[in-house]
Structure 1
C-alpha cells in the first residue's frame, strides 16, 4: 500500500496495487480475492484482466474496468476471471463524498460500475493509468490529480469529523453523542452510524496488529483488551463476521494464503 504525505493524507488512506499477470494461468483451483469489511470508500481500476462478484441474487457477474465501492459492513470475495493488474484508490468516506459528489450511504455494501456514477472529469483515468510505466508512476499520477481535486473542495471539509474516521481514539467522542440528529448527520456524511464506523475501525486495527511483524509481542487476550473488546472471544466473533476468520486463524492466512492478499496491503 502506498500512503500519501501532506494534505492529501486528509483524503486518501492509500493506493493499493496487485498483479497476477506473471503467474501461471489458468490456476490449479479457482482464484478468489477476499476483502474485509471496511469504513473506507474506494475506486478500483482493472488495468488488465477481469474479476467477478456475486450480485444481489447470488449470481456471479463480471465487474467493469472501473468500480466504485462504498463502506462495507461485511466481507466479500471476488473470483479472478483472467490474470489481473489492479489499482485501488482507498478514500476516507467524508473526503470521497467531496471528491466525487457521491453519497457514501447510498453505496454501502455496493460495488457498482462507475458509468452513470462518476462525471466526465474521471473519464480519462483508466486510459491514463494503463499508460503509466509502473506502480510508482501510477501513484504519482493519481496523487497529482487527486491533490488538485482535494484543494478545490477542502474548504468544505469538516476536519473534526475527519479526525473521528482516522483513529479509534478520536472516534470515541463521536460515539458518546446520543442526539438522533447528530447520528443521522454522521451517517449521511460517512455512510455508517458512529457505532458501525468504530466497529470497523477496531477490526481494521486488529488486522493491522496481526499482520505487523514489528508489533510488540502480546497475547490475543491482551490485543482484545487494548482495542476495547470485551474479551478475546468478543474479538474472535467480530473478526469472523467482518474478516472471514477469527484472529487465531486469520494471522496464518494473512501470511501465506494468496486469497487474503488484500489484508497484506
Structure 2
C-alpha cells in the first residue's frame, strides 16, 4: 500500500487552543496518523465525524481527489465543545450525529457540502456551542510537556492521583502517563525532523537511551524512526 500524496495547510482557529486544517489528497494511498492527544472534527465527502484521541498510530486510506476540512482541538479542549468525554472516543472515528442531535448534525453536514469556505462554516458551528474550557487541561498539559510527574502535578492542583487520573480520562482520553509518552514522542520527532542525531534526540527528549527511544517509537507509531521520518 502506497503513501497518500497530499497538500496540507493549517491556521490558528478562533476557538481557543484549536487549529483549522485542510488537506487535499493528490495520490491514492495510506497516511499514518500519529497519536498526539488531540481530537478533530472532520468533514470529508459529505461525512462529518469526530476523530478521537489515538493511543497508537492510525492508518487512513484515501483516494486521490478527496478533500478534508477540519478543526483540531489541542489535548483536553475537545470535550467541552463536543459535550462528550474524550475516553468515549478513544481510538475511534464517530459520526457527529451520534454525539449531537441528529438534525443539527445533518444540517451542518449539508451546509458544509455546499459552502465555498467550509472551514469558516465548521468553525462558526463549533463556536456556537457556548463551551466553557476546563482550566485544568492546559495547566496539566504544560506541566507534562515540561517533564512534570503525575504525583507532582496532582499535588499542585490539589487532587489525589486517582482523581487526576479520572479527570485525565475525561479530558484527554487516557491517563496522564500515557499522554506524557505521546507528548514526549511528538517532541522527539520534532527534534529528529530538524536533523538531530537519534542518540541526541533520546537524551534531549528525556529517554533513558537510544534503544528506549526506538522502542517507544515502534510501540506508538508502529514503524521504526527512520521509516517514519522518510514517510
TM-score normalised by the chain length of structure 1? 0.70
1:9 alignment partner, one of 11, 16, 37: 16
**Counterpart for residue 47 of structure 1:** 45
Moved more, 96-105 or 241-250: 241-250
Secondary structure, aligned partner of 1:44: strand
Match of 1:97 among 60, 65, 79: 79
Matched, 1:71 2:79: no
Which of 222, 225, 228 is the equivalent residue of 1:247? Answer: 225
CA gap 1:33/1:70 in 2 versus in 1, 3 angstroms? same
Distance in 2 (CA, whole Å) between partners of 1:139 and 1:192 is 29
Map 1:196-211 → 2, pairs under 5 A = 196-211=178-193
* Match runs of 1:174-189 below 5 Å: 174=150, 176=152, 177=154, 179-189=161-171
1:108 paired to 2:106:
no
* Unmatched segments (≥5 aa) in structure 1: 49-64, 254-265
SS at match of 1:118: coil
Aligned-pair CA distance for 1:105: 0.8
Q: Contact (CA 8 Å) 1:104, 1:191: kept in 2 or not?
A: yes
Q: Which runs of 5 or more residues in structure 2 are unaligned? A: 1-8, 155-159
CA distance in 1, matches of 2:170, 2:72: 19
Deviation at 1:172, TM superposition (A): 1.6
Preserved CA contact (<8 Å) 1:75 1:242? yes
Whole-angstrom distance in 1 between the partners of 2:57 and 2:206: 21
Q: Matches of 1:131 and 1:210 in 2, distance apart? A: 41
Aligned counterpart, 2:24: 19
The number of aligned residues is 216
- Provide TM-score, normalisation by structure 2: 0.79
Aligned-partner SS, 1:250? helix
After superposition, the CA RMSD in angstroms is 2.6
